[in-house]
Structure formats: C-alpha cells, structure tokens
A = this chain, B = another copy of it.
Amino acid sequence: MAGNTGVAGSSVSSRLLAILDCFDPAHTELTLTEIAARSGLPLSTARRLIVELTNWNGLERLVDNRYRIGINLWRIGVLAPRQRDLREAALPLMHDLCAATGETVQVVVLDGLEALCVEKVAAETAVRTATEVGGRLPLNATAVGKCLLAFSPRDLLLHVLEAGLQRQTGYTIVQPGRLTRQLRQVRSSGVAYSHEEMTLGAVSVAAPILSGGILKGAIGIVVRAPGRVDSLAAAVKTASLSIGRTVS
C-alpha cells in the first residue's frame, strides 16, 4: 500500500471492510479507539476511513464520540435479495405462528459454517433467546442449524466436523457420529429438535425451507416447556412448506 504501510497485501477496501466487521449484535456502538483495536488498524488510519464512512452516512457519530451503523448501510443492506425475499415470504407466517403459540419464532439462512438469523418474531411473554436479527448460531447446537446441515450437500457437514463441534451446554452434541445419525433422522422426518443444546431451559423445533428442491433457509420455534415441543412440530413444518411455496 501507499506510504509507510506495515503489512503488505492489504488494500484500502479491506481496511474499510475490516472497520465494518467490527460491528456485530453485541457491539452496535463503538468508539474510535475500540474500532482501531478490533480491526487491528492504526488509530490514524481507522479515523480517516471512519470519517469517510461517516460523511457518506454509512456510520453515524453520537455526541459521546461513539459510532454506530448509519442509515446508508442499512438502506443498502436491506436490498440483499436472499434475505429480503425470504423475510417477505416468511413474516406473515412467523406472526401467525407467534400469535398462535406465544413463543419466539426465528428464520435463518446458511452463512459459511454458521446459521445467520434473518428474522425473529417474539411475543412479550416468550423465551428471551440470546440471538438477535443479524446474529449467528452454531449449526450443531440448534434446531434450525441441524435443518440447514441435514439438507445441504454433505461437504458442509464435513467442513463443520473438521472445524470442530463447539460445546454450548452440557447437552450439546459434540460427537460426530451422534450428529450424523441425528441428521439422517432429520432428513427422513423433515423436522429437527434441540433439547437444551444451545441454551439451558430452552427447547426448539425447526423445519427446512425448500423451494423447488433447493434449500433457502430454516424456520424454528423456541419454547421453555419441554412438553409442548412435539405438538408444535406439525405447525412449524406446515409453515415451512408454505413459505417454501411462496419464496422464489
């Protein structure tokens, strides 16, 4: 890079994107110094790029010198057709499901080796799940994740196993053989479960969203009482089929 660059191979664009990568659901507001630290950029470089992003309204600066994602990045981001279409098809059914059960409903898509939460609908009284829209979930420990894993090419499972199964709770499946067996069952039944494997006290059911035979995402519902989970499976599966028919 121009000037007295330390490490070669990094472009201006990559630095700019590194700054954006600093933000996640747990870090929606950051100071200049925090951004510099998280992105690994020198302070002056980070500042210059942040100023440019701010002028474009990609970031907005608060009175206490913290930065947050701005309106322009939001405006561009919501255009992402993959999420946009799925969300539009799923939202009405998610609300129906939420209204009928009073529980938390979420729709996810595959993003690398994780599930990315595209939309969440929660009743006031529902279980407070850690996940937010835009947040990531492990594939092996969640019902929606297992759906994605079961209906994706076998390569994905191999990559996930290679990366290692992370334990979330005492109930998380970390044995490859056990996961593989469960995925076979998910494929045949079309429904996946998670029994406190992600969060203690939370149980969930999910079904894949398929359109024309190809996987678009998964829809799941999270409940507290373990007894209710079986009776919800049919509802979730019905919703997933309906969404699959609507989505392009």
Contact = CB atoms under 8 A, between A and B. Distances in A.
Interface of A: 2, 11-14, 16-17, 20-21, 23-25, 28-29, 49, 52-53, 56, 58, 60, 68-84, 91, 95, 109, 111, 116, 121, 133-134
Contact of A121 (B2, B91, B111): B91
A13 B49 contact: yes
Contacts of A21: 76
Contacts of A91: 121
A136 to B, nearest CB: 8
Contacts of A76: 20-21, 23, 69, 73, 77, 134
Contacts of A95: 95
Given A73-B73, A116-B71, A121-B91, A79 B24 contact: yes
Contact of A81 (B11, B53, B68, B78): B68
A225 B17 CA distance: 48
Contacts of A13: 12-13, 16, 49, 52-53, 56
Contacts of A72: 20
A242 B155 CA distance: 49
Given A60-B82, A69-B76, A71-B116, 13 more contacts: A11-B12, A12-B16, A13-B49, A23-B79, A28-B81, A68-B82, A71-B82, A71-B109, A73-B77, A74-B78, A74-B82, A77-B78, A84-B133
A74 B80 contact: yes
A14 B71 contact: no
Given A111-B71, A116-B71, A79 B12 contact: no
Nearest to A87: B133
Contacts of A78: 74, 77-78, 133-134
A109 B84 CA distance: 19
